[in-house]
Amino acid sequence: MTVIDANRMNEIEARYPEYFHRSFRQRFGGLMILIATLLYSLYAVWFFDLPKLFAEAHWERVGIYLSQWVSYDVQPEFRIEDDGSIDIRYPRFSPLGDNPHPDWLANNPDGSITVSISGTSRTVTVSKSQTVVTAHGITVPVDVSSGAPKVVGPVPGWMTVYDDNVLADLGFAGNVSISVDRVKIRKRFIGWANFIFDTQSSFFDKPVGEVIGLMVSGPRIKPDQSNLSLAFDDIWNNSEWQHGDVWTKLFQTIVMAFLGTLLGSLTAFPLAFLAARNITPNRLLNQILKRFFDFLRSVDMLIWALFLTRAFGPGPLAGSGAIFLTETGTLGKLYSEGLENIDNKPREGIKSTGAQPVLVHRYGIMPQIVPVIVSQTLYQWESNVRGATIIGAVGAGGIGLKLWEAMRTNANWENVAYMVILILIVVFIFDAASNALRHRLMGTKTH
């Protein structure tokens, strides 16, 4: 074992003072950052009152909304007439069409009607004197022969009694509302109803094999139009899912993002040369343009969209303009900073040959700045596809407005899910295309 004496130790300390005489920041910097993060977290908890927020949150709505994204419901209403007969009615725009005969509804010999909510474990039997609900392993009769519905026997936890009606919650399968003269049932199904053909289509409720046969070789449903063309029209003009309008609005969103980014990049490119200190040695002009870029990008794209919808009215023109203004500021700043960070040696070498300024820029600057321009422009284009969806919600057109209309009704969550999935697919495609194009133009390989 080597023994180091005091002199040797002093010599080592003098040679490497950064290791033996560390500053307060170097010794306790990590601990201070940890303490600051903890204190900030505690402050955030207090500022947002997170305990109260979590305690009062309606967590049950999350499950309800998610279930509505992937399901639909049918709402038959059973009206008990004065003569004891039961009249079945469906909402005007029922997923089952104008003349439904579902197999989950059965007429009994005694005149009652049994509805299967979920197989045989959850059923509702409606008669003129009582409604019998079977769920969660028990059967509960509800008497409707007197002035108010009355539960016969103990009331289970999944059933709520009000003054004039009884509500039975059957979970995801649906619910039942029972009053003296009518019974309303909500039965839920997994899937999206009538996604291909709506109830007004000639192909509605037909088996897949029959539909394919009609389109390929079947007799014409309409003498002046082929079945294939008729099927496409019915899908495109589906009144419930509005495929034609949704896809048109989605295309508008893509065009808005492309046009706004293109115009923004074309405007920002020459302005960036004037804003770069090493390209244009005019301090006043440099500062004016840089502050102009800061102004354009400091006003959020959403705010620009609100201004432009006031000026031009709702539509994709306002959306394209909002993206154009924002991207002029953002790309102008990025381009000018890229120009200021170039290596001046190639530029000076070409300038020393007596070349014109245009040639100096073309061969001394552009080869260095093109990768930055391509990379940043493609990234902003991809980002603006998402941004165009948001600004569409304030009237700037595109699928964002369609999405907001569906969400505002608080009833068409399956349509919301459909549009969200389309947006995700478009974003994924544009992300992949942007990455591939960027790597190809910059000469790098993707991993």
Q: Mind giving me the DSSP string for 382-433?
A: HHHHHHHHHHIIIII-SHHHHHHHHHHTTS-HHHHHHHHHHHHHHHHHHHHH
Q: Under a CB-based contact definition with an 8 Å cutoff, are residues 374 and 384 in contact?
A: no
189-205 mean pLDDT: 89
Tokens representing residue 43 in the block:
């402050």
374/364 Cα distance (integer angstroms): 17
The pLDDT, as a whole number, for residue 259 is 92
313 plus 421 within the same structural domain: yes
285 plus 417 within the same structural domain: yes
Tokens representing residue 26 in the block:
């170097």
What lies within 8 Å, CB to CB, of 20 at 6+ separation is 12, 13
User: Is 110 domain-assigned?
Assistant: yes
254 plus 402 within the same structural domain: yes
Which 3 state secondary structure label does DSSP give 40?
helix
Helix (H) or strand (E) holding 135: strand 130-135
Tell me which residue range forms the domain holding 376: 243-442
User: Is 2 domain-assigned?
Assistant: no
The pLDDT, as a whole number, for residue 404 is 86
276 plus 135 within the same structural domain: no
373/256 Cα distance (integer angstroms): 20
354 plus 259 within the same structural domain: yes
The pLDDT, as a whole number, for residue 12 is 67
The pLDDT, as a whole number, for residue 114 is 93
Q: Under a CB-based contact definition with an 8 Å cutoff, are residues 396 and 309 in contact?
A: yes
The dihedral region occupied by 212, where left means phi > 0, alpha psi between -120 and 50, and beta the remainder, is alpha
Of 196, 199, 200, 224, nearest to 212 by C-alpha is 196
Sign of the Cα torsion 82, 83, 85, 91 reads negative
In angstroms, the Cα distances linking 354 to 346, 348, 365, 367 are 13, 10, 16, 19
pTM: 0.79
Which 3 state secondary structure label does DSSP give 117?
strand
Q: Under a CB-based contact definition with an 8 Å cutoff, are residues 380 and 327 in contact?
A: yes
User: Is 235 domain-assigned?
Assistant: no
369-388 mean pLDDT: 86
Of the two residues 65 and 108, the one the predictor is more confident about is: 108
Domain count for the chain: 2
322-334 mean pLDDT: 93
User: Is 280 domain-assigned?
Assistant: yes
User: Is 37 domain-assigned?
Assistant: no
The mean pLDDT of the chain is: 86
Least confident span in 131-145, 203-217, 348-362, 373-387: 348-362
258-268 mean pLDDT: 93
Question: Is the pLDDT at 1 greater than 60, yes or no?
Answer: no
392 plus 294 within the same structural domain: yes
Domain boundary among 172, 190, 208: 190
The pLDDT, as a whole number, for residue 244 is 92
400/419 Cα distance (integer angstroms): 9
392 plus 314 within the same structural domain: yes
Q: Under a CB-based contact definition with an 8 Å cutoff, are residues 421 and 249 in contact?
A: no
User: Is 374 domain-assigned?
Assistant: yes
How sure is the predictor about 422, in pLDDT bands with cuts at 50, 70 and 90?
Answer: very high
The pLDDT, as a whole number, for residue 363 is 78
Q: Which range scores top for mean pLDDT: 8-12, 184-188, 379-383, 433-437?
A: 184-188
Query: What DSSP character marks residue 362?
Result: I
143 plus 281 within the same structural domain: no
How sure is the predictor about 446, in pLDDT bands with cuts at 50, 70 and 90?
Answer: low
Measured at the alpha carbon of residue 49, what is the angle toward residues 47 and 51, in degrees to the nearest 5?
145
User: Is 305 domain-assigned?
Assistant: yes
Q: Report the CATH number that the domain containing residue 266 is assigned in CATH.
A: 1.10.3720.10
238-261 mean pLDDT: 91
